Chain A
Amino acid sequence: EAQVTQNPRYLITVTGKKLTVTCSQNMNHEYMSWYRQDPGLGLRQIYYSMNVEVTDKGDVPEGYKVSRKEKRNFPLILESPSPNQTSLYFCASTPRMNTEAFFGQGTRLTVV
């Protein structure tokens, strides 16, 4: 089944403790991206990647890192999480630029 898989689905952590949210897609898509969803703000892009080893900042990249060492994986790294990063995070992949995105199930992160 074609899908985008994120882990974990739920995470509660403390301020400053490094964490990684994994994202994997099995559709051989070149483009992948991370979004955060906050009430009243919709989804905002954090980072995106157009191919292996090619990443770029989205609209809200501060406090986040990403890497794209393999085509299928695009982890999101929070080196020192803060409470304002409490949010619902979605990974997405798309086969070509400017076409529709396929979303993962989401990761609800709480930073206390």
Chain B
Amino acid sequence: AQSVSQHNHHVILSEAASLELGCNYSYGGTVNLFWYVQYPGQHLQLLLKYFSGDPLVKGIKGFEAEFIKSKFSFNLRKPSVQWSDTAEYFCAVIRMDSSYKLIFGSGTRLLVRP
């Protein structure tokens, strides 16, 4: 079965630190990839997405992610985090040859200390 792994369940950083959250998926075919963010008490919002083309994609709020096909990875990065980035981050994958099913990782809780 396809799975999405987020290895860091909890991350604590100080403001201005750099962030990298890992995401790996297990499916070998063509996929669409997403990162969503969930601020405390809110719904999921799209941070960025990758469908094809340049494997380095930029999203909102200074986030970016790099798709490395050989490693089945789609890691999220931000050069300098802010207190307002405190949230839970979810990686998600859709297989391009399957019916509509967005498969989520278990999430990473990020706490940014002022």
Contact = CB atoms under 8 A, between A and B. Distances in A.
Interface of A: 31, 33, 35, 40-45, 48, 50, 56, 58-59, 90, 92, 94, 97-106
Interface of B: 4, 6, 9, 32, 34, 36, 42-46, 49, 90, 92, 94, 96, 99-107
Nearest to B48: A100
Pairs of residues from A and B, 3 with the lowest C-beta to C-beta distance, nearest first: A42-B104, A42-B106, A43-B104
Contacts of B106: 40-42
Contacts of A41: 106
Contacts of B43: 90, 103-106
17 contacts: A40-B9, A40-B107, A42-B105, A43-B102, A45-B102, A48-B99, A48-B101, A94-B100, A97-B99, A97-B100, A98-B32, A100-B46, A101-B102, A103-B43, A103-B44, A105-B42, A106-B43
Contacts of B42: 105-106
A99 to B, nearest CB: 7
A33 B100 contact: yes
B104 A44 contact: yes
Contacts of A92: 102
B34 A48 contact: no
Given A40-B9, A106-B43, A100 B34 contact: yes
Nearest to B31: A98
A14 to B, nearest CB: 25
